[in-house]
Chain A
Amino acid sequence: MKKTRFYLPRRWGEKIILFIVAFLFLLFFSTDFGLIDIQKTAIILAAGIDRTEDGNFSVTAQIAVPEASKSGGAAQATAISGSGETIARAFQEINTKTGWFPKLIFCDLIVLGETVTQGNVFDCLSYFMRNEQMSDNCLLAACEGSAQEILTATTPTESMPALALQKILATEAKESGNISTVNLKDFAADYFSEHKSGYMPFLFLLPQTEGAQGGQSGEGGQSGGGAQTAAAAQDNGQSGQSGKDQKSSVFYGACTAVFYDGKLKTVLTREESFALNLVVGKVRQATLQVPLPDGTAYALSLTDVKGKINLQTKDNLPRLKIGLKAVARVSDCTVPKSLENIASTNTVREELLQKAEELLARDISAVFEKCRENQCDIFGALDRLQKYHTTFYNAYKEDLLARIVPTFEIHVRDSD
C-alpha cells in the first residue's frame, strides 16, 4: 500500500516560527500576565496572629520595605495589621490598606499570640498549610501576650524583629539544645499523628534596660530550678507587655509551649526544655550547669548527645525507656582552679558526672510527668505503640500515658 506523503510547505515553518516570536514579543512588551510587580509586593518576613475580642483573627505582618538605593541592600521593616474572620480575610485587609499584595514565600516565622494558643492553633495554621506558595518550613513560636507586640518590638540586634527572632529560633540554637525550634510541617505532622501532641518555643520580651536583671534572673532560674524560670518568665512577660514604652527589648525563647490537640497545655521551664531538647532534638553541643553541694558550680559541655526513646510492652505493661547518652567535658567553673586543672578539661570528676545525670534525669522526668498530667504524649509513645506493638494498640491507645511506666537511663561520661 502506497503511503501518502505530506510535508509542511517550506515557508510555513518560517511563518509559524515568526508567529511564535511575534507572540512572545507581544507578551514580552505588554508584560500583562496578571503578575504582581516586585514593587507592589509585600514581602512578608513574619506573621503574628492574635484573636480579637470579637473572635476574629488579627494578623500582624512584618513586611520588608526596600529603600531606593544605588548601592542596594537597604531595607526597613514595617508591621501592618489586618483582621478578619479568617486569616485569608485578614491578609486581604492588609492588601486593601496598603495596596501591597502580601506574599508569604519568604515568611519564615509565625508567632501565635496567647489568645490564639488558648484555642486550637490549627484554626489559623490550616491557612498556611493550604497555601502552596508558602514553605511549611517556616518556624513556629507561641508567645506570651500578643504576637503583635512581639513583631512590633524594637530590638538592638536587628532592624527587623522578624530577623532577630529567626536568629533566636535558628537551627543553630536548636543544635545547642537551648531552643525547641519547630517548623510548621513537623508541628502539623505531630498534630495529625496519633498522639496529637506537639511543642514549640515560647517567646516573651525582655526589655533591654532591665535586660541585665532579667538575664540574671534567668540565669538564677537556671541554676536554681525550673519553677523559678516560669515565674521569671511570667514577670518578664508582663514587663514585656509594658515594654512598649521601653526603647528596645530582646526576645527570650528558651521555654517551650506544649500542645495537645492544637491547644496550649503547659509551658516547660528552661531546664525542662533543655532536657527535652537533649532527648528529642538533634543536639550537637550543649552546656549544662551542674551545682555541687559545696557551693561551686560547673558548666559541662555535652557532646555526642544521643537521645533514645523506646517503648516496650513486657508483661502487658507499657514501659517507656527514655535514654540519654552524652560525653562531657568541663567548660567552666565558679571557683578558680589550678593551671593543671584548667588544662585537663577532658577529665570530669565522677561526682560531677553523677550529679549531671541526676539533674538530667530529674528534668526529663519532670517533663514527662508534666506532659502526662496534661495528656501530652510529647515523646510519641502512642506512635511507637502503633508502629512497633500493633497488637497492643487498640487495648492501650485510650489511656496509654496513664499506664506507662517510665524509666530514665542517663549516661554521661567524660571523654577520657
Chain B
Amino acid sequence: MKSNTNMNNTTSMTRNDKHTVTTRQLCFMLAFFLPANKIILLPSVLTQYAGNDLLLAALAVFVLQGAAIFALLWIMSRTEKTLFELIEGKFGTWAARIFYFILGAYLLFSSVLPVTEHRLYTQNTMYDTLPTILIFIPFFFFSGYAAAKGLQCAGRAADVSALLFLVSVPVLLFMSVASVDFTALLPIGSAGAGKIFNASAHVLSWCSDAGWVLVFLGNVRVEKNFLCKTGISYACGAGVVLLFLAVFYGIFSTVAMNESFAVVKIARYYNALKTLGRIDYLFIYILSLVQLFALTLPIQLSAYTMGKAFNTDMPPLFSAIVNGVLLLVVLFTAKSFPSLERTINGYLFPVFLVFANALPLLCPLLLLGEKQARRDNNPQTDEQKDKEKDNDNRNNRDRKRQQIPAGGKEF
C-alpha cells in the first residue's frame, strides 16, 4: 500500500507538459521521423544482401517492428503510466532506475551508426571536396541544445517535420519517377529466404524504432482512436520507405548497391536539372532538417532517460554527457565507418533485437495485475461511482456554460 502511494506521487510529479506529446505528434514521428533516416544508406545495404528482394527484407523488419510498436501503442492506450512507473510498480524504484540507465545507454548506442552515417551523408551532399571533421562538430552543439529541451519540443519538431517532409520527399519522388523501371524488382523471392533474412538482420539497427517509442510510454496525450491513428501512421512511415526502396531499385537495378546515398541520387536523372541546376538539392536540404530532428530524437531520449535514472532534473548536464560521448565515438570512428557498420550490423544486431523488438513485445506483461492494483488503490462503492459520474457531468455542463457569455450569444 505504501509503495502504491509513492507510485502515485511519482506519477503526479513526472506528469509534466514539458515531456508530453500529443497523439498527432506521435503519429507524425511514426510517419515522418521513421522513414527520414532510412533512405540514406539502408537501400544500398539492403541491396547488397538481398539484391532485388530488398523489399521483402525490409518488409520482414517492418512487420517485426510493427508488432513491437503496436504492443507499445496498446499499452499507451491502456495506461497513462510511463515505463519507469510501470517497472517501478512491479519491481521497485531501483530496478526502474537501473533499467532506465540501460535504456539510455542503448539509445545512445543506437545513435552511433545513424550519426556517423549522417556525417558521411552531409559530406557527400553538402561538400564537393572532403571537408575536415571539424565541420561536423557543430552538429553536437545543436544536438546538445535539442537534447536539453523537453520531449514537448521533439513533438513540435515532428509537427514541422510533417510539413518539411511533405514538401521534400514527394518532389524528390516525382523527379525520379520518370526513370523508374519497377520490373527490375522481378523475380520476387529470387534471392532466397536465407539472404532475405540475412539482409533483415543486417538492417535491424536502422529499423529499431520501437526502442525510442518505449520512452514515450505515458508521455503521450491519448486521444480518441489512438491505436487506429498511430497504427496507420506507422504503416504510412513504413510504406514510404518501401515505396522509396522500390523506386530506388527501379532506377538503379543492378548497380543499386553502389549508390550509397540513395536520397541524393534518385532525382538527379530528372531532365529539367540540366537547365535549372541541381534544384533537387534544395529539397534534399529541406529533408535534411527532418533527418536532423529524427536523428536527435534518440539522443534527446537518451539524455531524458539518464535524467530519470539518476532522478535528477539536469537536462543540460545529461545532454552534454550524452553528446560528449557521441562526439568521442564519432571522432574515434571517423575513418572507419565500414568496420563500424560491419561490427554493429553484423555482430551487435542482437542488441537491437532485444531492445527494439523483444522488450517492447514483452512490455504488455507489465500491465498484468494493473487493473487489480488500481481497484485496490481506489476501492469505490457503486454509490461513490455514481456520485463521481454526476460530478463529472456537472463539471462538463459548467464548462460549457462558461464558454457561452451572458446574453446567450455564442460569439
Chains A and B share a contact (CB less than 8 Å): yes
A residues whose Cβ falls under 8 Å from a Cβ of B:
1, 3-8, 20, 27, 33-36, 101, 103, 105, 108, 129, 132-133, 135-137, 171, 183, 185, 188-189, 192-193, 386-388, 390
Asked whether, in the complex, the Cβ of A137 is within 8 Å of the Cβ of B255, the reply is no
B residues whose Cβ falls under 8 Å from a Cβ of A:
10, 13, 93, 124, 127-132, 134-135, 138, 141, 183, 186-187, 190, 251-255, 258, 260-261, 268-269, 271, 274, 310-314, 316-317
Contact for A36 among B93, B129, B271, B313, CB less than 8 A: B129
List of B residues within 8 angstroms of A36 by Cβ: 128-129
Nearest residue (CB) in B for A282 is B178
Known: A27-B134, A34-B132, A387-B187. 18 other contacts (CB 8 A): A3-B312, A4-B311, A5-B314, A6-B313, A6-B317, A33-B132, A33-B134, A33-B135, A34-B129, A105-B128, A132-B261, A183-B269, A185-B251, A188-B254, A189-B254, A189-B255, A386-B190, A388-B186
Nearest residue (CB) in A for B123 is A132
List of B residues within 8 angstroms of A189 by Cβ: 252-255
Asked whether, in the complex, the Cβ of A6 is within 8 Å of the Cβ of B314, the reply is yes
List of B residues within 8 angstroms of A386 by Cβ: 187, 190
Q: How far is the CB of B118 from chain A (nearest CB, A)?
A: 16
Asked whether, in the complex, the Cβ of A5 is within 8 Å of the Cβ of B183, the reply is no
5 tightest A-B CB contacts, nearest first:
A6-B314, A387-B186, A192-B254, A4-B312, A5-B313
Dominant secondary structure of chain B at its interface with chain A? helix
Pick from A5, A101, A136, A388 the residue with the most CB of B within 10 Å.
Answer: A136
A-B contact pairs, 18 of them (CB 8 A): A1-B93, A4-B310, A6-B316, A7-B316, A27-B134, A34-B129, A36-B129, A108-B274, A132-B124, A137-B269, A171-B271, A183-B269, A185-B269, A189-B255, A192-B254, A386-B190, A388-B186, A390-B187
List of B residues within 8 angstroms of A1 by Cβ: 10, 93, 311
Asked whether, in the complex, the Cβ of A34 is within 8 Å of the Cβ of B131, the reply is yes
Q: How far is the CB of B110 from chain A (nearest CB, A)?
A: 26
Complexed CA–CA distance, A101 and B131 (Å): 15
Complexed CA–CA distance, A289 and B132 (Å): 59
Nearest residue (CB) in A for B258 is A129
Asked whether, in the complex, the Cβ of A33 is within 8 Å of the Cβ of B131, the reply is yes
Complexed CA–CA distance, A265 and B10 (Å): 78
List of A residues within 8 angstroms of B13 by Cβ: 3
Complexed CA–CA distance, A387 and B260 (Å): 25
Complexed CA–CA distance, A135 and B268 (Å): 8
Complexed CA–CA distance, A3 and B93 (Å): 14
List of B residues within 8 angstroms of A8 by Cβ: 316
Nearest residue (CB) in B for A384 is B183
List of B residues within 8 angstroms of A34 by Cβ: 129-132
Asked whether, in the complex, the Cβ of A3 is within 8 Å of the Cβ of B135, the reply is no
Pick from A6, A135, A193 the residue with the most CB of B within 10 Å.
Answer: A6
A35-B129, A103-B128, A185-B269 as given contacts; A132 in contact with B255, CB under 8 Å:
no
A6-B316, A33-B131, A34-B129 as given contacts; A137 in contact with B268, CB under 8 Å:
yes
A135-B268, A386-B187, A390-B187 as given contacts; A6 in contact with B312, CB under 8 Å:
yes
List of B residues within 8 angstroms of A133 by Cβ: 124, 128
Complexed CA–CA distance, A74 and B25 (Å): 53
List of B residues within 8 angstroms of A390 by Cβ: 187, 190
List of A residues within 8 angstroms of B134 by Cβ: 27, 33
List of A residues within 8 angstroms of B310 by Cβ: 4
Asked whether, in the complex, the Cβ of B253 is within 8 Å of the Cβ of A4, the reply is no
Complexed CA–CA distance, A30 and B249 (Å): 43
Asked whether, in the complex, the Cβ of B317 is within 8 Å of the Cβ of A132, the reply is no
List of A residues within 8 angstroms of B128 by Cβ: 36, 103, 105, 133
Contact for B311 among A3, A101, A135, CB less than 8 A: A3
List of A residues within 8 angstroms of B186 by Cβ: 387-388
Complexed CA–CA distance, A27 and B132 (Å): 12
Complexed CA–CA distance, A4 and B13 (Å): 13
Complexed CA–CA distance, A207 and B311 (Å): 83
Asked whether, in the complex, the Cβ of A4 is within 8 Å of the Cβ of B268, the reply is no
